[in-house]
Chains A and B, each alone.
Chain A
Amino acid sequence: KNQVEQSPQSLIILEGKNCTLQCNYTVSPFSNLRWYKQDTGRGPVSLTIMTFSENTKSNGRYTATLDADTKQSSMHITASQLSDSASYICVVSDRGSTLGRLYFGRGTQLTVWP
């Protein structure tokens, strides 16, 4: 069964600190892995997208890593800001679907305190 598991479920950090979010998946055949940021009451916004051959992808203070062998990904946020408070969702796409089938994790709810 294709699944995406994220940890931790929630995380509280102080402004300026770094944090790392984890994602494990069982989706096969694998096409790509995305990290989305979803602010409360808004739709998800794409942060990074990585294919099988990519190990790391950065978008400003956001850096995603991918280990396709162990089917694990992480999202590292450096020098956190209050605006980073949001849900971070790991999404995996399978290669066999012309629809662009996406499998969503439940997200990690990040809260940044001043």
Chain B
Amino acid sequence: EADIYQTPRYLVIGTGKKITLECSQTMGHDKMYWYQQDPGMELHLIHYSYGVNSTEKGDLSSESTVSRIRTEHFPLTLESARPSHTSQYLCASSERTALSYEQYFGPGTRLTVT
């Protein structure tokens, strides 16, 4: 069982509100990721980080922002939530193995913007 945590698990919020989705891992992994997943669809990478003070945008354009001030913490922020932001957000971290980068996923945050 991977030690990666996300809070809140579920969030219902009104349009225009600022929200922060929390993600933390206790495995000491340098690489961390945020994915967005709609029902029945594939995961899309929206942000990633190689380590502290490193953040990059992923393949899917997102209005969210991320920060990486500590190795174990990778929060995602939406300054002004909109209904189009309704989705599941999954955080992951990875370690370098002999094969590749094994990614471990958190339980996800289900966001609903009304």
List chain A positions with a Cβ less than 8 A from chain B: 4, 9, 31-32, 41-46, 49, 51, 89, 93, 99-100, 102, 104-107, 109
In angstroms, Cα B108 to Cα A44, docked, is 9
Q: Which of B31, B41, B105 contacts A43 (CB 8 A)?
A: B105
Cβ A42 vs Cβ B103 within 8 A: no
Q: Which of B14-22, B76-84, B94-102 contacts A (4 or more CB under 8 A)?
A: B94-102
Interface: B74 (CB within 8 A): no
Q: Count how many chain B residues have C-beta atoms less than 8 Å from C-beta atoms of the other chain.
A: 25
Give every chain A residue within 8 A of B103 (Cβ-Cβ).
Answer: 46, 100, 102
Expressed in whole angstroms, the minimum distance between the Cβ of A46 and any Cβ of chain B is: 7
Give every chain B residue within 8 A of A102 (Cβ-Cβ).
Answer: 45, 103
Expressed in whole angstroms, the minimum distance between the Cβ of B42 and any Cβ of chain A is: 4
List chain B positions with a Cβ less than 8 A from chain A: 4, 9, 31, 40-45, 48, 50, 90, 92, 94, 99-108, 110
Q: Which of A32, A42, A46 contacts B107 (CB 8 A)?
A: A42
Given contacts A43-B105, A43-B108, contact A107 B100 (CB under 8 A): no
Expressed in whole angstroms, the minimum distance between the Cβ of B105 and any Cβ of chain A is: 3
In angstroms, Cα B107 to Cα A44, docked, is 8
Residue of B nearest to A42 (CB): B107
Give every chain A residue within 8 A of B9 (Cβ-Cβ).
Answer: 41
Given contacts A43-B92, A43-B107, A45-B105, contact A100 B99 (CB under 8 A): no
Given pairs A41-B9, A102-B45, A107-B42, 9 additional interface contacts (CB within 8 A):
A9-B40, A31-B100, A41-B110, A43-B90, A43-B107, A44-B90, A45-B105, A104-B44, A107-B40
Give every chain B residue within 8 A of A104 (Cβ-Cβ).
Answer: 42-44
Give every chain A residue within 8 A of B44 (Cβ-Cβ).
Answer: 104
Cβ A100 vs Cβ B110 within 8 A: no
Residue of B nearest to A39 (CB): B107
| Closest 8 pairs between A and B when the two form their complex, measured CB to CB | A100-B101, A43-B105, A104-B42, A104-B43, A106-B42, A32-B100, A44-B105, A43-B106
